[in-house]
Amino acid sequence: MNKTNLRAVVLLIIFLLVFFLLASRVAYIQVAKAVNEKDLEQLADERWSRTFTLEGKRGTIFDRSGNSLAEEIPSYTLVAILDENSSNRVDDPRLAAEKLAPIIDRNVDDLYRRLSTEGRFQVELGIGTKNLSLEKKREIEALGLQGITFRTEPRRYYPKQVFASHVIGYTERDMSTARMGLERSLDEYLVKEDGSVNYLSDRRGIRLPNMEEIVEVPKNGYEVFLTLDTNIQMALEQVMTQVDEQYEPERMMAIVADPKSGEILAMSNRPSFNPNFYEEITNFINYTVSSRFEPGSTMKIFTLAAAIEEGVYDGEELFQSGSYQIGGRRIRDHNQGLGWGEIPFDEGFQRSSNVAFSKLSLELLGPDRLYDYIERFGFRERTGIDLPNEATSAIADSYLIDAATTAFGQGSAVTPIQQVQAMTAIANEGKMVQPYIIDRIQNPYTGEVIKSGETNVVGEPISAETAQQVLDLMETVVTSSAGTGKPYYIEGFEIAGKTGTAEISNPDGPGYLSGHGQYIYSFMGAAPKSDPQLIVYVAVDRPNITIYEQGSAPVSQIFTTVMKHSLQYLNISPRETSKSERMADEGIILEDYLGQGIDAVKAKLTSLGLDVHVIGSGGIVEQQIPRMGTTLIQGEKVLLRSDGESFSMPEILGWSLRDVMKLANILELNVNLVGSGFVTHQSVPPNRSISLGDYLGVELALPTRSENEDESLVGEEEEVVKID
């Protein structure tokens, strides 16, 4: 066989082998429909189909009026294109760095180095260039810098900044993880589900015409509406911030609630945080719900209610104040155990006598009935408020002394929200309602309500008659010369309240902390007393107060500001005299003098027999106390504040507490009251310049008392429990 024939045979064999292999592969594909272990249809999908994600949206959290408190918004990351082959690249790194630096608060040289990076298609510009707002994006776009562009990403945003932060909580900026508050506890309702769109395209990715696309619709998270009222919450946040900066306490907490429904209208803590910058959080605890402590004398409200309900309370019955022996222990009143002699129980409540409530609990009620009412008022169980991490109470009930101390707020620990729930029974004709903060959760597409909050009466520990009697006595705490609640007086409104001052367990050893300001100061108040619409609870832990200030100073600043603002916002007007009183021959009914000439108004009121004091050098009445509609008798003081900017301190020696509070109200003063009765000393001398919001110290005394009986130490911090 020649060489030509040999080559032909070899080529034929090779051809036949290749043909056999190809035929075998085609046959295999026909039967198995698989190529390299991949389904042919899958291969076609991968080559010709395109899938894009349709992003859902995390549910929005709103206040009661529909104002957004937590929402998903687009954010922008600054990107610089550096690819030399791109027509839209950074052509002048130095110029771009110099223009960008002041806007994003970066160093010019650092930006220049990043913008000069070689071998990169694009770069991010680091700190300060992520999560940019739309406003910041537009500001950068206005520079007209070539090669500077943005990547759009969704993020969680809290438009009201430091606003009920511990209630709302926060998520990571990319919403991958919910970290605390309602964001976390309601995550199953708020979480979103992304969708997708799938279509066929050519090799360049262009959609093929007349081809059906497959769309999986994204699902947005549910909308959550809270009972919080932005107007009241903002007022609370603002005054809390002011007090925090002024007094630098260890912590503060405050709650505003509707006693009829149980709705929480405002809730705040300090330290607080801005959830947009969660890296800076120092306190993760919602103290109003998740902390318990010995409440102090606010607990006397409920001991008093129990004694009245059981028919063992006689407000005119006398007892010996000062100290009270219980076995080997001795309870002392807050004025170093001196007491006020033999006084009636009503006065004991006004003065916040620990001896009075020890006697009530042990001699009149008895421990068993006391603890029965502790349970009736809900202090042994969580309230069940729809907020996460609610703490439990710790009621001391092992020894006889425990019943006495629990009765006046020491030894046992409860939460602020438990106290607010119990207070609803006092302010709501004996019916105790459960507090709640979630108004409703609804479908954003259909508006269907998935879950809703509602008023839930969880007990009726006392009768309506008892509740009213307690409110009447609580009002005297604020209005009586003997009351510890005088700093909480608000002109024109009926405030029923009770002060509280509790010792703090020493973290470094046995016993309690001691020293000026080393206590938790609190106040529980309801208004208006005749038909309470609001409960406000405030507690301030170890404020930095001067030796001349009482613990009531920061607490009253918060309480009076928020209560007065809220009442006016809810259109609850200052109390006016009844029609019959207006028709009476005796008495002088004040008119509205705002905007009128000072001299003419003073002359008119003086002619009617009123004692008129003008504050300020202006010629027009800018403010008046008492207000329009108030009925006065001859000789009562009327204060007129002019429209001038400078004010002189009047001489107030001999003025009553009521008149001092008129002055404090009209000049918005922070007043420190020491004693009761009539003014014997004023810290700002007469005729000295004084400004709105200044501090004024006032000492008062009863003219009938001897020097040894002077009440100069009656005040918030002196309510501290003393047990030997």
Over the stretch 79-133, which tens digit does the pLDDT of each residue have?
Answer: 888 887 787 888 888 988 888 888 888 888 888 888 888 878 888 887 778 778 7
- Helix 108-115, helix 93-104: angle, nearest 10: 130
Q: Residues 245-303: pLDDT tens digits?
A: 999 999 999 999 999 999 999 999 999 999 998 888 999 999 999 999 999 999 999 99
What's the pLDDT score for residue 715?
34
3-state secondary structure of 265: strand
Question: Which position among 165, 272, 297, 361 bears the catalytic label?
Answer: 297
What's the pLDDT score for residue 585?
38
What's the pLDDT score for residue 203?
57
Q: Residues 580-637: pLDDT tens digits?
A: 333 333 467 788 899 898 888 988 898 888 889 999 888 889 889 888 777 777 778 8
**Shortest CA distance to 160 belongs to which of 239, 226, 68?**
68
Q: Which long-range contacts (CB under 8 A, 24 or more apart) does 383-386 make?
A: 383/415, 383/417, 383/418, 383/421, 383/434, 383/435, 384/434, 385/264, 385/289, 385/417, 385/434, 385/435, 385/436, 385/437, 386/436, 386/437, 386/438, 386/453
Give me 300's structure tokens: 């006397």
Whether 297 is a known active-site residue: answer yes
Alpha carbon 206 to chain centroid, angstroms: 54
Residue 668 main-chain phi, psi, to 5 deg: 55, 40
Specify the DSSP class assigned to residue 369: H
Q: Which residue stretches of the chain have pLDDT < 70?
A: 1-4, 25-54, 196-197, 199-213, 215, 575-587, 645, 676, 702-724
pTM: 0.73
